[in-house]
A and B are shown apart, each in its own frame.
Chain A
Amino acid sequence: MNKHAQPDLTAAAIKGGVATDQRHDSAAKHVTGTAVYIDDIAEPAGTLHGCLGLSTIAHGAVTSIDLDAVRGAPGVVAVLTGHDVPGVNDISPTGRHDEPVLATEKVEFFGQPLFAVIAETREAARRACKLAKIEYDALPFVTDIGELDATSGKMVAPPLTLKRGDAAKAIASAPRRIKGQMRVGGQDHFYLEGHIALAIPGEDDDVTLHSSTQHPSEVQHMVAHALGVASHAVTVEVRRMGGGFGGKETQSNQFAAIAAIAAKKLKRPVKIRPDRDDDMIATGKRHDFLIDYEIGFDEDGKIRGVDYTYAARCGFSSDLSGPVTDRALFHCDNAYFYPAVHAQSAPLYTNTVSNTAFRGFGGPQGMMGAERVIDEIAFALAKDPLEVRKANFYGTADRNVTPYHQSVEDNIVHRIVADLEASCDYQRRREEIAAFNAKSRIVKRGLALTPVKFGISFTATHFNQAGALVHVYTDGSVHLNHGGTEMGQGLYVKVAQVVAEEFQIDIANVKITATTTGKVPNTSATAASSGTDLNGMAAQDAARQIKDRLCDFASDKYGLPKDQIVFLPNRVRIGNQEIPFADLVKQAYMARIQLSAAGFYKTPKIHWDRDKGEGRPFYYFAYGASCSEVSIDTLTGEYVVERTDILHETGRSLNRIIDLGQIEGGFVQGMGWLTTEELVWDDKGRLRTHAPSTYKIPLASDRPKIFNVTLADWPEANEPTVHRSKAVGEPPFMLAMSVFHALSDAVASVGGHKVFPALDAPATPERVLMAVERVKAAR
């Protein structure tokens, strides 16, 4: 699509502007196998391959490391330990100094990298790894947060408390009270392309890295830190990832750092691509949570006060667990107003891999607490949960202050839910399902409609900035670069649409280029759904600077006021004449006008005081709702998702077809989290679900049998975002809560909706059956 075609100089509109359906820029390359991922890059001559040696106990002091057999194995060139790290043996992304590149004296989880083998081939490195003889003094370990105290347990980061009003008093004085606990499981990212780093040593201190990372700047900083060199010596590049989902936000650092250390030491390129099992064992996942809640409410189902404790399995180090557990608290309200609330987090230390970012970043787990509370109230009052949900929605003018004291100014949840309730025929189906269940002894159906309100912005305010670099060449073609990374979400094409729109040129004239720290520095991770919001604005800024210069130039040259210079599709109207865009560019070049610009954007309005638990951490909120219907087999717990209807909004979408893909894909990924994706650790602290044979993400045959997804066509962003579009990466993930609650509803039907199923997540067939048995026993 980047072939240089003659632009249509009479077109009424450009091809590929904003608010048009554009296919993914690499679609044709994807389907032909010609899209180049890092493992597909032709290896430089002499490239070596690394494999990480992992610990075989969950916690202990390392008493001896005998790597002689490893060194002597065929093809082995070098073996590195933590003592070979020339700079600082630490890759903690938040500077807490709690995460070694390679562990030395102690290991803190089963599978922690202890050494790296560098060999002539990947296979030789992998085989040699198995020959290490490592002895430990084993120490007691804990993998399950159920064994820990959420107030006095060891934390990896300071907990957060949010409070508004006097929750204890509100609960105590409420007509009805419930106290309970819920377990919400973690999730492996299962990006299809595993982690990979290719380090190519350069002159002096230089090293260039191809890293499968969502955060090239952080990889750059970590590699520099580990090498003990300045950041300017390290260049990190990534054209595309085969999926990220948060799993490549910080977890790329380790592979990149080790590859770089080996490459500099051996003066040869080094590639590290862990096997899928090692990737799943040694890299972090979504946090699992234990949520304690106490609620006070009235007979109408209105909440008076809530108290939450969100305890999370963080693993052995902080990584991003502080901000993840913070975001869980930020979403303990979902779309509901709490007159009084007290919520605290407990980022607990465990002897498991350090958990990390994953689509939603704690938000989904936070919302599961809110929806659990709604379900409890509905049960206690024998009401339809949808009625209780509606009764507690945030207001628009009042009842609109969040637990973190930000007012919800853009609330559209009422209309989203009302529209969906009507379009999916909720009330009629509710009756039909009741009738079905009355007749069917073994197979039971369930239905649930759940809303999503998700806060958009990094809660660490300083991350909400972005840069872009735009060049216009003398033939009128455009080179686009920005700090965002492409992991499949369509960021690159959306930003290219913004630039095409700005210059009024066909998108084919905009060349999308690999993200590199050499072009745009000090970038933030492509995360928090912010990729388009931030980078789109930065690219727009860069394009506008060049456009303004072109405008000034034309105004000067042709002696016309600036409002007589109008950028039309592929051409520019200057007074009464129209000339091709490329011609104006050429003229500007001859007149020595700079045709390159660095753009910048920072999100306005946001601020956050963590100590006080007050501020405006989010620029805006994204909304959606979904309704799911399931069938369960009460003899085995097996189930089928019969139908899901989704209504979601992305403001005035830049590209509805890309957004639709995010919604469908996010939903199914969320459904996997809440249904079949189960992480199991054994009594040795060893992860037993470390490959697709044991860890089950959804298949095509797991998606809802009927799957109706609609993008609301009426909302637009309240704030002046890029073309009034809204973020779409994470919010749809949480639409999957409707599946979980539909399962719970089906289980509850076994006891005539009188016994609360207290279903935990993931709702595997086993958990569904056990819940059925509990309900049967109690009815």
Chain B
Amino acid sequence: MTSRSHLRFLLNSEEVTLSDVRPDATLLDFLRLDRALKGTKEGCAEGDCGACTVLVGRLAGDRLVYEGVNACIRFTGSLDGCHVVTIEHLRGSDGGLHPVQQAMVDFHGSQCGFCTPGFVMSLYALWMREPNPSDATIEKALQGNLCRCTGYEAILRAARAISSYGEAKRDPLVAERAVVIERLKAMHDGARVEICAANSRLVVPSSLDDLAAVLEAEPNARIVAGSTDVGLWVTKHFRDISPVVFIGGLGELRQVSEADGAITIGAGVSYTDAYAALATRIPALRPLLDRIGGDQVRNMGTIGGNVANGSPIGDTPPPLIALGASVTLRRGATRRTIALEDFFIDYGKQDRAPGEFVEAIHVPVPDAGTLFAVHKITKRRDEDITAVLGAFHLTITDGTVSSVRIAYGGMAATPKRAKSVEAALAGKPWTMETIEAAMATYAQDFQPISDMRASADYRMMTAKNLLMRVFLESSGETATVSRHEAA
């Protein structure tokens, strides 16, 4: 096993080598304080406003993928072998403004200008992958960017026009991709990275087996994949997270495969990378996946992290539980696979032993003909944390409920099945009377709390009404408001 005690990555055109990096050092501080790259702004330091959006290019097999991330909660230690692209790197073919920048200027997309570099970076990422986007696509790409001045209309006008200012394929990041791939490949030497700095330690394992070895040796190390949650432990709570094991770069954990009717999602698969498989094979998940965080968070955050973290308001556990998903935990060479619902024991407590890590999640694809629906209730439609999330998986045979699994988030201390409700539905005719009877049993399953997101009453009322929505929509009635027609 080779190891090295420094990180290497590309920053714009320059190769950076760092040997003095704390595990909690953020990319934003590195850019602004160490490198005086002041174009990237701090708006919230929690990954919600997008003012700090930069692109991170990473190798995915032979491809180089550029994704917008929030530099404020991206740890520098997780960047080994990546290409960080900041607003300072954008240039037009003639050295003037880049097409994205020129469109933003010409369509008056900035007022105070503070959020603007972040918007430019998000639109840049969008333009490279989708040069002629629909409004719905633009809005999705901008879910993670807040603007308080423009009301967004001018930004949308600019976004629609970018391709009339230049072709994405002639953009330097596209045209120079082969060169950058070679430079990044040269950095991937198969070595483990271990850096000790200021009484702290970070490890970037070289492989999945190396990760298992690292955790066996250091069972209480903090496993960090996308850092969309752990980032805030640092920026808001100054928690000491050392020692940290960064797993986001492990290709073996970023695999999605399907076999025997189940999709297996590696623990390092981001929401973005899981999207193609999940949204295609389980279309009912698409509207939910479209509303988890913003693009930056979806590019960073992982379903594995969403599960391992054990939050009662994580968005993926309820639908995964309703689908009967299981999770594989690994310690050293030992693996065990348990039902996902059994993984969540209590608030802040999961069935994961020291040294053990979530390796993969297995999601059964629902049979054709079963009814599967997921509904998320939030104060603001997009980029908001769940108040209530209900996932419903039923089989109706000859008008009778022959199987049922229902799980909720936001209603208890863990993601939780609605067992009494399920019992009230099982074997009953799929009728309004049955639904109303089942709605009366919710109090046996849930005693939700009131907080800044919703009152207990609202949570209970909407939880019940979501069942009603599922019933009504199963008979073709419209019981949902939507901004865009289903794609």
C-alpha gap A691/B235 in the complex (Å): 12
Q: Would A33 and B112 count as touching, CB distance under 8 A? A: no
For B29, B150, B235, B236, the residue with the greatest tally of chain A CB atoms inside 10 Å of its CB is: B150
Contacts of A241 in B (CB 8 A): 112
Contacts of A700 in B (CB 8 A): 138-139, 142-143, 145, 147, 152, 155-156
User: Chain A's nearest CB lies how many Å from the CB of B126?
Assistant: 12
Q: Which residues from 18 to 46 on chain B have a C-beta closer than 8 Å to any C-beta of chain A?
A: 29, 32, 36, 38-46
Instruction: Tell me which of B29, B40, B48, B112 contacts A693 (CB under 8 A).
Output: B48
Q: Would B452 and A688 count as touching, CB distance under 8 A? A: yes
User: Chain A's nearest CB lies how many Å from the CB of B451?
Assistant: 7
Q: Would A661 and B108 count as touching, CB distance under 8 A? A: yes
Q: Would B477 and A696 count as touching, CB distance under 8 A? A: no
Instruction: Tell me which of A28, A189, A190, A632 contacts B146 (CB under 8 A).
Output: A190
Q: Would A27 and B108 count as touching, CB distance under 8 A? A: yes
Instruction: Tell me which of B153, B382, B451 contacts A699 (CB under 8 A).
Output: B382
Q: Would B116 and A30 count as touching, CB distance under 8 A? A: yes
What are 17 A-B contacts with C-beta separation under 8 Å? A26-B110, A31-B110, A33-B117, A190-B148, A192-B114, A192-B147, A243-B112, A442-B478, A664-B150, A669-B148, A669-B151, A691-B44, A694-B385, A698-B380, A700-B138, A766-B458, A769-B461
C-alpha gap A189/B117 in the complex (Å): 20
Q: Would A33 and B87 count as touching, CB distance under 8 A? A: yes
Contacts of B120 in A (CB 8 A): 31, 33
* A633-B481 CB under 8 A given contacts A30-B116, A37-B41, A275-B45: yes
* A640-B114 CB under 8 A given contacts A32-B90, A668-B152, A699-B380: no
Contacts of A488 in B (CB 8 A): 110-114, 149
Instruction: Tell me which of A191, A490, A709 contacts B153 (CB under 8 A).
Output: A709
1/0 contact string of B402-446 vs chain A (CB within 8 Å): 000000000000000000000000000000000000000000000
Q: Would B114 and A242 count as touching, CB distance under 8 A? A: yes
Q: Which residues from 37 to 95 on chain B have a C-beta closer than 8 Å to any C-beta of chain A?
A: 38-46, 48-49, 51, 86-88, 90
Instruction: Tell me which of A39, A130, A688, A692 contacts B46 (CB under 8 A).
Output: A692
Q: Which 9 A-B pairs have the closest CB atoms?
A: A33-B39, A488-B112, A242-B114, A30-B113, A668-B151, A488-B111, A692-B48, A696-B380, A33-B87
5 further interface pairs, Cβ-Cβ under 8 Å (given A31-B113, A33-B86, A664-B151): A192-B146, A242-B114, A243-B149, A635-B466, A638-B377
1/0 contact string of B119-145 vs chain A (CB within 8 Å): 010000000000000000011101101
C-alpha gap A769/B120 in the complex (Å): 37
C-alpha gap A698/B154 in the complex (Å): 15
**Is B207's CB within 8 Å of the partner chain A?**
no
**Is A627's CB within 8 Å of the partner chain B?**
no
User: Chain B's nearest CB lies how many Å from the CB of A647?
Assistant: 16
C-alpha gap A707/B483 in the complex (Å): 13
**Is A578's CB within 8 Å of the partner chain B?**
no
Interface size on A, residues (CB 8 A): 90
C-alpha gap A699/B138 in the complex (Å): 12
**Is A245's CB within 8 Å of the partner chain B?**
yes
**Is B465's CB within 8 Å of the partner chain A?**
yes
**Is B381's CB within 8 Å of the partner chain A?**
yes
**Is B453's CB within 8 Å of the partner chain A?**
yes
**Is B273's CB within 8 Å of the partner chain A?**
no
Binds A, one of B97-105, B247-255, B259-267: B97-105
* A31-B112 CB under 8 A given contacts A192-B41, A633-B481, A699-B142: no
For A27, A34, A658, A680, the residue with the greatest tally of chain B CB atoms inside 10 Å of its CB is: A27
For B40, B100, B104, B380, the residue with the greatest tally of chain A CB atoms inside 10 Å of its CB is: B380
**Is B2's CB within 8 Å of the partner chain A?**
no
C-alpha gap A192/B112 in the complex (Å): 9
User: Chain A's nearest CB lies how many Å from the CB of B45?
Assistant: 6
**Is A271's CB within 8 Å of the partner chain B?**
no
For A36, A37, A661, the residue with the greatest tally of chain B CB atoms inside 10 Å of its CB is: A661
Q: Would B451 and A636 count as touching, CB distance under 8 A? A: no
Q: Would B238 and A127 count as touching, CB distance under 8 A? A: yes
Counting chain B residues whose Cβ lies within 8 A of the other chain, the interface size class is: 35 or more
1/0 contact string of B452-473 vs chain A (CB within 8 Å): 1111011001100110110010
User: Chain A's nearest CB lies how many Å from the CB of B23?
Assistant: 14
**Is B335's CB within 8 Å of the partner chain A?**
no
Q: Would B148 and A192 count as touching, CB distance under 8 A? A: yes
For B112, B152, B472, B482, the residue with the greatest tally of chain A CB atoms inside 10 Å of its CB is: B112
Q: Which residues from 216 to 244 on chain B have a C-beta closer than 8 Å to any C-beta of chain A?
A: 235-236, 238
**Is B334's CB within 8 Å of the partner chain A?**
no
For A30, A39, A190, the residue with the greatest tally of chain B CB atoms inside 10 Å of its CB is: A30
* A694-B105 CB under 8 A given contacts A192-B112, A699-B382, A709-B153: no
Q: Would A664 and B154 count as touching, CB distance under 8 A? A: yes
**Is A55's CB within 8 Å of the partner chain B?**
no
Q: Would B461 and A773 count as touching, CB distance under 8 A? A: yes
A-B contact count (CB 8 A): 267
User: Chain B's nearest CB lies how many Å from the CB of A69?
Assistant: 14
**Is B336's CB within 8 Å of the partner chain A?**
no
Q: Would B115 and A192 count as touching, CB distance under 8 A? A: yes
**Is A252's CB within 8 Å of the partner chain B?**
no
Contacts of B276 in A (CB 8 A): none
Q: Which residues from 341 to 399 on chain B have a C-beta closer than 8 Å to any C-beta of chain A?
A: 375, 377-385
C-alpha gap A696/B378 in the complex (Å): 10
Contacts of A660 in B (CB 8 A): 108
Q: Would B113 and A442 count as touching, CB distance under 8 A? A: no
* A661-B453 CB under 8 A given contacts A23-B105, A32-B97: no
**Is B13's CB within 8 Å of the partner chain A?**
no
* A676-B379 CB under 8 A given contacts A27-B110, A276-B46, A692-B44: yes
Q: Would A443 and B481 count as touching, CB distance under 8 A? A: yes
User: Chain A's nearest CB lies how many Å from the CB of B278?
Assistant: 21
C-alpha gap A691/B38 in the complex (Å): 23
Q: Would A766 and B454 count as touching, CB distance under 8 A? A: yes
Q: Which residues from 322 to 343 on chain A have a C-beta closer than 8 Å to any C-beta of chain B?
A: none
Contacts of A37 in B (CB 8 A): 41, 114
Instruction: Tell me which of B36, B101, B112, B465 contacts A636 (CB under 8 A).
Output: B465
**Is B480's CB within 8 Å of the partner chain A?**
yes
Q: Would A635 and B453 count as touching, CB distance under 8 A? A: no
For B86, B109, B152, B378, the residue with the greatest tally of chain A CB atoms inside 10 Å of its CB is: B152
**Is A779's CB within 8 Å of the partner chain B?**
no
C-alpha gap A36/B156 in the complex (Å): 25
Q: Would A24 and B111 count as touching, CB distance under 8 A? A: yes
Contacts of A707 in B (CB 8 A): 153
**Is B174's CB within 8 Å of the partner chain A?**
no
Q: Would A665 and B105 count as touching, CB distance under 8 A? A: no
* A31-B101 CB under 8 A given contacts A192-B148, A240-B112, A680-B452: yes
User: Chain B's nearest CB lies how many Å from the CB of A634?
Assistant: 9
**Is A515's CB within 8 Å of the partner chain B?**
no
**Is A576's CB within 8 Å of the partner chain B?**
no
Q: Would A764 and B104 count as touching, CB distance under 8 A? A: no
C-alpha gap A34/B452 in the complex (Å): 38
C-alpha gap A548/B311 in the complex (Å): 71
Nearest opposing residue in chain B for A31, CB measure:
B101
Q: Would A765 and B377 count as touching, CB distance under 8 A? A: yes
For A488, A632, A636, A664, the residue with the greatest tally of chain B CB atoms inside 10 Å of its CB is: A636
User: Chain A's nearest CB lies how many Å from the CB of B468?
Assistant: 6
Q: Would A443 and B111 count as touching, CB distance under 8 A? A: no
1/0 contact string of A680-715 vs chain B (CB within 8 Å): 101000001101111011111111010101000000
User: Chain B's nearest CB lies how many Å from the CB of A262?
Assistant: 20
Contacts of A766 in B (CB 8 A): 379, 454-455, 458
Q: Would A640 and B483 count as touching, CB distance under 8 A? A: yes
C-alpha gap A705/B134 in the complex (Å): 13
* A705-B483 CB under 8 A given contacts A190-B148, A700-B139, A700-B152: yes
Q: Would A665 and B113 count as touching, CB distance under 8 A? A: no
* A665-B39 CB under 8 A given contacts A700-B139, A701-B381: no
User: Chain A's nearest CB lies how many Å from the CB of B397?
Assistant: 26
Contacts of A709 in B (CB 8 A): 153
C-alpha gap A262/B87 in the complex (Å): 34
